[in-house]
Amino acid sequence: MARLILASGSPRRKALLEQLGLHFDVFSPDIDETAEINEPVAEYVERLACEKAQAVLDRFPDAIVIAADTSLGLDGQILGKPESREHALNMWTALSGRWHDVYTGVCVRTLKENYSIVVRTQVEFQPLSPADMENYWATGEPQGKAGGYAIQGIAARFIPRIDGSYSNVVGLPLHETVQLLQTVKVLN
């Protein structure tokens, strides 16, 4: 079998993929993650996942590459990773007491094959007080996380319900990823 490479530096994606019992290498590509003007969240995450996969395939052309990108959508806007404390507080204020969407684009690419999918999960946030937000920021957990939170961490206390794939919110929808890997014969 060809070498399998995860095109991501995310420890969460690595751990999720390891749950499948796969042997793979990790290589994190450096791509421009700027959203295009008025780009829908679903198209954005799919485009980035495919660009990441292609960047790694360009470097390792005999590999099977799996890449993913996760972002939040709220009122048609992309909520990425917080750039500062103030940015995180603004995001959480917008999310407070509301449902939002978490989208992950997954791409599996080889020299001859290219498959991608977008998975959407709805997440409810409880109303957050200013103290909730300040205390959560102080934990350090929000940095580097889409929407400024980690459902698998401390932020679980703020999330009463989800509708859809839990692993999608963590960063890699496992069921759909398995389906893509089966298509390129990595899994039976």
* Domain residue ranges in the chain: 4-183
The span from the CA of 13 to the CA of 176, in Å, is 14
Query: What number of CA atoms fall less than 13 Å from residue 56's CA on the CB side?
Result: 27
Q: Could you tell me which CATH class the domain 4-183 is placed in?
A: alpha beta
In one-letter notation, the amino acid at residue 3 is R
Any idea what DSSP says for residue 108? E
Q: Which pTM does this prediction carry?
A: 0.93
Burial letters for 47-61: b for 16+ Cβ neighbours within 10 Å, e otherwise? bbbbbbbbbbbeeee
> Per-residue confidence of the chain (188 residues) as pLDDT tens digits?
689 999 999 999 999 999 999 999 999 999 999 999 999 999 999 999 999 999 999 999 999 999 999 999 999 899 988 999 999 999 999 999 999 999 999 999 999 999 999 999 999 999 999 999 999 999 999 998 989 999 999 999 999 999 999 999 999 999 999 999 999 988 76
> Among 58, 62, 69, 163, which one carries the catalytic annotation?
69
**What are phi and psi for residue 138, nearest 5 degrees?**
-65, -20
- Catalytic: 69? yes
